[in-house]
Amino acid sequence: MSREDQIIDARIKKIEELRKMGVNPYPSKPTSEVKNYASQLHEKYKKLKNEERTKDSVRIAGRLMIKRDLGKIAFCTLQDGSGRIQIVLQDGSTPSKKFEFFKKYIDAGDFVGVSGSIIRTKTGELSVLVKDIEILTKSIIPLPEKYHGLVDEEEKFRKRYLDILMNPEIKELFIKKQKFWSTIRNFMLERGFLEVETPILENSAGGASATPFKTHHNALNTDVFLRISQGELWQKKLMVAGYDKTFEIGRLFRNEGMDMEHLQDYTSMEFYWAYADYRDGMKLVEEMYKKVAKEVLGTLKFETHGYKVDLGKKWEVYEYDKLIKKHTGIAIWNSTSGEIKRKLDELSVEYNPTVEKWRLVDNLWKYCRKKIAGPGFLVGQPAEISPLAKRNPKDPRKVEQFQVIIAGSENGNGYSELNDAVDQDERFKKQMEMKKAGDTEAQDHDKGFVEALKYGMPPTCGFGVSERLFSYLVDRPIRECVIFPLLKPEVSENVEGKADQSQIAVAVVNRSLKLKPWEEMNTIAHLNAAFGARVGKRLLTVDTIRTKDNRNIKLNIQHAIMIKEAKSNKEIINLAEEAKEKGLEVSEFTREMILTTDDKKVINWTKEKKHEEIEYLGVLIFGKKSSVENITKNFKLFE
């Protein structure tokens, strides 16, 4: 039995004893009202001197994070929603029955209610000298240690409640995030914008270029999409309806990849402003961003993702075509798809070779974007990649669009909204042609929206910003800024009551064959390659990570891989058979496989032998950690 299992058993016994004593280890509320909070007490008694005592009675409640029982005196750290404060129990000051109860039944991790007086210890620690203590919630599983607890990134996300509990900076992160959105909301309300709610389920996915999630509406017996924009087309219909200023804050969903900047579901804000154009939008957005940064960070200057940013300096305006020409040499209006593809290959930029020219051009822009620290606005985008934006009357090839560029990333997008119904209809038709050609991000032809435009929509500026901006303000990957990010489900036991467990891969090499070093390396490489091919991308939580200077690195798999050794061929055969019986993933590598890459030869050679005659060079087992470790525990680590 592990140390943790022993602790759990001991705590369960304490719960049983408490109930026999008539003490409820999970009462509905404290017996006395909680009147004080840790941060409040620290502020009120900040001038109290060392070893000074007060007669002031306080009543607090919270979780015991640390318990140190030194015999005649005990020190604990109590944490409530506002912070931490020390509590002290001492012979002669704390009633003996309360002290004995504390020693026997209260552990670190328990929620307690405490009454007592305020003192400051000899070492200067403000404390509550306990007169009464009661259990409010008895914990069963011990808390992770401060420095040896949650270190695995996936485990932190899966048990985010512990990550927040043990790391005050993570708790503060989400307080800042709330401040981020409340500042944006208040900014819009103060300027006369009406907050609205628009549908999340839609008959067609519009308002952005992205791959949607699709589901089925049983009551209406129709397929629907989760929205990919913050009600863009709906809010424009509200402009038709006569509202002048609207905005919405909510979730949207895009069925695309995950990386430092992208998630599948996230919060965003979009506003629509009648009788304003993209230049008015740029002024309003700059003002809003400065307000948000000041409220969240307390400053307009910060470092993020390897860039130094100052929102207080003059915001630059970057021309789309000129910027691409400067950094790649490509003149976008005259270049062919072939020329752009060759340049993308030269720059080692990934792209979909089946898409049309302007989507390739956008890949070029994304390469150039990383070279800009900002703050600034990108303008002059091609009409082909912005089907909802109004054309620039001075150059109809371009649209009146502005994208906020901060630290090499797009952190907001807006434009003078297209209100020409005929032009909009033609652009939707072009988008449908792109979709049929294989562009999954092309937009649907929303005929209902075109009809609304035909009734007349006033000149309007629209703009959207997502929580990516927050992640850049606090200099963290966007996934870390989601309080409970989506994770792949853990593989569960088929036994009721058993907890989910993580997975592991163990490769076992046959040392009895006295393989040459290159043969051993080849065996391990092939086992891992076969394992990866069979299990696929579910091994990855995130495909790509990014360095401080914005270079992409392909992330390794999320599971540990161990290498062990077997003393005989029979051991490996038995291991493989046992693993298969238990339903674990098995990859095998035999002598025939190292002799040739011709699968037909391997198949024919193998047919000519009985199973016990097959010479195994190695085997790899993958599955639930406890199961894999159990069947490989007698194999020693590879040396």
pLDDT, tens only, 277-295? 999 999 999 999 999 999 9
| Residue 357 pLDDT exceeds 50 | yes
What letter does residue 313 receive in the DSSP assignment? S
Each residue of 433-451: pLDDT tens digit?
Answer: 877 777 666 667 878 889 9
Q: What is the pLDDT of residue 506?
A: 94
If residue 453 lies in a helix (H) or strand (E), which one and from where to where? helix 447-454
Confidence of residue 411 (pLDDT cuts 50, 70, 90): very high
Confidence of residue 157 (pLDDT cuts 50, 70, 90): confident
Confidence of residue 150 (pLDDT cuts 50, 70, 90): low
Q: What is the pLDDT of residue 392?
A: 92
Q: What is the pLDDT of residue 152?
A: 66
Q: What is the pLDDT of residue 209?
A: 72
Phi then psi dihedrals of residue 545, to 5 deg: -120, 165
% of the chain at pLDDT higher than 70: 94
Q: What is the pLDDT of residue 612?
A: 86
More confident residue, 246 or 557: 246
Q: What is the pLDDT of residue 132?
A: 96
- Please give the domain boundaries of the chain with CATH numbers for all domains: 3-137 (2.40.50.140), 170-315+374-481 (3.30.930.10), 503-637 (3.40.1490.10)
Q: What is the pLDDT of residue 557?
A: 77
Q: What is the pLDDT of residue 500?
A: 43
Q: What is the pLDDT of residue 496?
A: 42
| Amino acid letter for position 132 | D
% of the chain at pLDDT higher than 90: 67
Q: How far is CA 217 from CA 36, 194, 221, 224, 513, in A?
A: 50, 30, 6, 7, 60
Whole-number mean pLDDT of the chain?
90
Q: Could you please report the per-residue DSSP string of 243-290?
A: -SEEEEEEEEE-----SSS--SEEEEEEEEEET--HHHHHHHHHHHHH
Confidence of residue 493 (pLDDT cuts 50, 70, 90): very low
| Residue located via tokens 């990134």 | 153
Confidence of residue 239 (pLDDT cuts 50, 70, 90): very high
Question: Once rounded to an integer, what is the mean pLDDT over residues 234-254?
Answer: 95
Q: Retrieve residue 107's tokens.
A: 């552990």
Q: What is the pLDDT of residue 423?
A: 87
**Cβ neighbour number for residue 176 with a 10 Å cutoff:** 15
Please state the pTM of the whole predicted model: 0.74
| Residue 561 pLDDT exceeds 60 | yes
If residue 620 lies in a helix (H) or strand (E), which one and from where to where? strand 616-624
Among 567, 572, 574, smallest CA distance to 591 is for 572
Q: Which has the minimum average pLDDT: 251-260, 464-473, 597-606?
A: 251-260
Confidence of residue 384 (pLDDT cuts 50, 70, 90): confident
| Amino acid letter for position 501 | Q
- Strand ranges for 429-538 from DSSP E: 460-466, 503-510
Each residue of 505-541: pLDDT tens digit?
Answer: 999 999 999 999 999 999 999 998 888 887 776 676 6
3-state secondary structure (DSSP) of residue 539: helix
Nearby residues of 77 by Cβ (< 8 Å), 6 or more positions away: 64, 65, 66, 84, 85, 86, 87
Neighbour-count burial for 493-514, b at 16+ CB within 10 Å, e otherwise: eeeeeeeeebbbbbbbbbbbbe
More confident residue, 43 or 206: 43
The residues that bridge with 80 in the sheet, in sequence order, are 83
Each residue of 585-611: pLDDT tens digit?
Answer: 999 999 999 998 888 888 889 988 988
Rg over alpha carbons for the chain, rounded to the nearest Å, is 31
Phi then psi dihedrals of residue 235, to 5 deg: -65, -35
Q: What is the pLDDT of residue 203?
A: 86
Q: What is the pLDDT of residue 616?
A: 94
Question: Once rounded to an integer, what is the mean pLDDT over residues 190-217?
Answer: 88
Q: What is the pLDDT of residue 494?
A: 45
Q: What is the pLDDT of residue 549?
A: 63
| Residue 244 pLDDT exceeds 50 | yes
Neighbour-count burial for 418-427, b at 16+ CB within 10 Å, e otherwise: bbebebbbeb
Question: Once rounded to an integer, what is the mean pLDDT over residues 247-260?
Answer: 86
Question: Once rounded to an integer, what is the mean pLDDT over residues 201-225?
Answer: 86
The residue length of the chain stands at 639
